[in-house]
Amino acid sequence: MTKDWLRKIVGLILLVSFIALPWYSPFQIYLSIPNHIQTFSEADEIDIPVFGDSVSVYSNEEEKAAHATDLVKIPLNQSGNHELTYSVANFPVKKVDVSVYEDFRVIPGGQSIGINLQTNGVLVVGHHLVQTNDGEVSPGEQAEINVGDSILSINGQPVKKMEQVAPLVEEAGEKEESLDVEVKRGKETFQTNLKPVYDVEQKDYRIGLYIRDSAAGIGTMTFYDPKSKKYGALGHIISDMDTRKPVDIKDGSIVRSQIKEIKKGEHGIPGEKKAEFLFNDVKLGNITKNSPFGIFGTLSKPFNDNKWNKPMPIALPHQVKEGKAQILTVIDDEKVEAFDVKIVNSIEQDAPATKGLIIEITDERLLEATGGIVQGMSGSPIIQDDKIIGAVTHVFVNDPTSGYGVHIEWMLNEAGIDIYKQEENKAS
């Protein structure tokens, strides 16, 4: 009987300990210590949380000691692989691998750019009814072609422009034949038969579909890598204004643009930059990718010089702090200017995600000019402590002074730039 009670008491103690352990402050600190830290050699030191009442943190550089409520600064003056060891009463409790990479820099953007996209095939943006002798009908809808689908080919002939569609429709209509249409929906493609009908009002053959082969808009350049010539802009995916679906691009280009007017953002109504494309100018570069992290490609012509047109180091997500920062953007003509913002929140992301930052516009001149974050400002680089930390992406509709940002690491990764690839990374 005594043994049973003893087992129950021990079990109860273990259960209470198990439940209480996650709320125990030192245990929480222990869990907050990462297993692996990545940083750059330009960061003279990194903040390391400590654990225990009296803790020694060892690295191959030197030994430090501090109390549990402090942060220990570990000097990192050499690239390579380091190891930190946490010890309590001279007993090692946790090891942390630290990878220190050579300094990585890109040129910050801020310039307003005109964006021209050529879709992969022709994009279906709507259905319409065709008036026939037998009533109204939409052949496209009957063929189960949906809004947001792309028509890739008709009768085996690749379709790249809207102008290619009308002659094929006319020919099939006169022969009373169906068109063999290749359709792309998301990542899948399928074949369907589409039979044109005669429109008694328009006196022509119709397929009951509204289509488009291009898209255009403005945004802001985020960064340019002088070594690879790659760039990133916008910070979010481009979606068709009618279908609200991502534009599947085949080709595209960016050109210079001049801001001519700004519609201020208000509560519930987002503002926008109104710009003029400089089509007579040589295109700045191509567009090879339209992704949730922005548009990417290669620059063929550099931007005009400005005071920020010099390589600047980047900051990783765990290096971003809440507090003061700046964004680079254009509110008049082509002049890139810096405006004050506040980092309200930064999520220490270990994997790519689009919403890693919350920012608030604090610059009175920018608030007066735009009301906050407006359309066309997406992609504006965010600078903190002379480092590029991310880009503006979305505005809060109910509060135009605030919005989301994306961490720069994920945009660089999406551009195909490996910031961790070093020519030499020897263990120190």
Per-chain mean pLDDT for the chain? 84
By three-state DSSP, how is residue 367 classified? helix
Please, are residues 119 and 247 in contact by the beta-carbon 8 Å criterion? yes
Buried b (16+ CB within 10 A) or exposed e, 238-248: bebeebebebb
Average pLDDT over residues 127-143: 92
Strands (E), 347-422: 357-361, 381-384, 387-396, 399-407
Instruction: Count Cα neighbours of 259 within 13 Å in the Cβ-side half-sphere.
Output: 25
Whether 405 has a pLDDT exceeding 60, the answer reads yes
Q: How confident is the model at residue 13 (pLDDT cuts 50, 70, 90)?
A: low
- Among the listed residues 56, 153, 225, 236, the single catalytic one is 236
**Tens of pLDDT, residues 72-113:** 555 555 667 777 777 766 677 777 777 777 778 999 999 999
Whether 352 has a pLDDT exceeding 80, the answer reads yes
Average pLDDT over residues 346-374: 93
By three-state DSSP, how is residue 416 classified? coil
Structure tokens given for 196: 């044109």
Question: How far is residue 296's CA from residue 290's CA, in Å, rounded to a whole number?
Answer: 7
Q: Which of 172-181, 255-264, 416-425 has the lowest mean pLDDT?
A: 416-425
Residue 174, C-beta contacts closer than 8 angstroms, at least 6 positions apart: 205
**Is 36 among the residues known to form the active site?**
no
Please, are residues 194 and 179 in contact by the beta-carbon 8 Å criterion? yes
Q: How confident is the model at residue 69 (pLDDT cuts 50, 70, 90)?
A: very low
Structure tokens given for 245: 């679906």
pLDDT in the model for residue 411: 97
Whether 248 has a pLDDT exceeding 70, the answer reads yes
Residue 223: other Cβ atoms inside 10 A = 26
Distances from the Cα of 324 to the Cα of 302, 345, 359, 386, angstroms: 30, 11, 10, 12
pLDDT in the model for residue 48: 65
Percent of the chain with pLDDT strictly greater than 70: 79
Average pLDDT over residues 332-352: 93
- Among the listed residues 378, 380, 402, 407, the single catalytic one is 378
**Tens of pLDDT, residues 384-404:** 999 999 999 999 988 999 999
pLDDT in the model for residue 265: 86
By three-state DSSP, how is residue 95 classified? strand
Average pLDDT over residues 184-207: 92
Q: How far apart are the first and last CA of the chain?
A: 61
- Among the listed residues 138, 363, 380, 394, the single catalytic one is 363
Q: How confident is the model at residue 424 (pLDDT cuts 50, 70, 90)?
A: very low
pLDDT in the model for residue 170: 93
Structure tokens given for 79: 């690239």
**Tens of pLDDT, residues 167-192:** 999 999 999 999 999 999 988 999 99
Average pLDDT over residues 362-374: 95
Radius of gyration of the chain from its Cα atoms, rounded to whole angstroms: 29
Strands (E), 284-356: 285-286, 289-291, 294-298, 312-313, 323-330, 336-346
pLDDT in the model for residue 250: 83
Question: How far is residue 254's CA from residue 282's CA, in Å, rounded to a whole number?
Answer: 10
Q: How confident is the model at residue 68 (pLDDT cuts 50, 70, 90)?
A: very low
**Tens of pLDDT, residues 154-163:** 999 999 888 9
**Is 32 among the residues known to form the active site?**
no
Does an H or E element contain 413, and which? Answer: helix 408-414
Question: How far is residue 302's CA from residue 221's CA, in Å, rounded to a whole number?
Answer: 12
Average pLDDT over residues 321-348: 95
Distances from the Cα of 110 to the Cα of 24, 281, 326, 382, 392, angstroms: 46, 19, 11, 9, 11
Structure tokens given for 67: 């109390």
**Tens of pLDDT, residues 279-289:** 666 789 999 99
Q: Which amino acid does the sequence have at 46? A: I
Which of 116, 121, 117, 118 lies closest to 149, judged by CA?
121
Which of 99, 88, 85, 82 lies closest to 27, judged by CA?
88
**Tens of pLDDT, residues 41-65:** 665 566 666 655 444 455 555 555 4
**Is 378 among the residues known to form the active site?**
yes
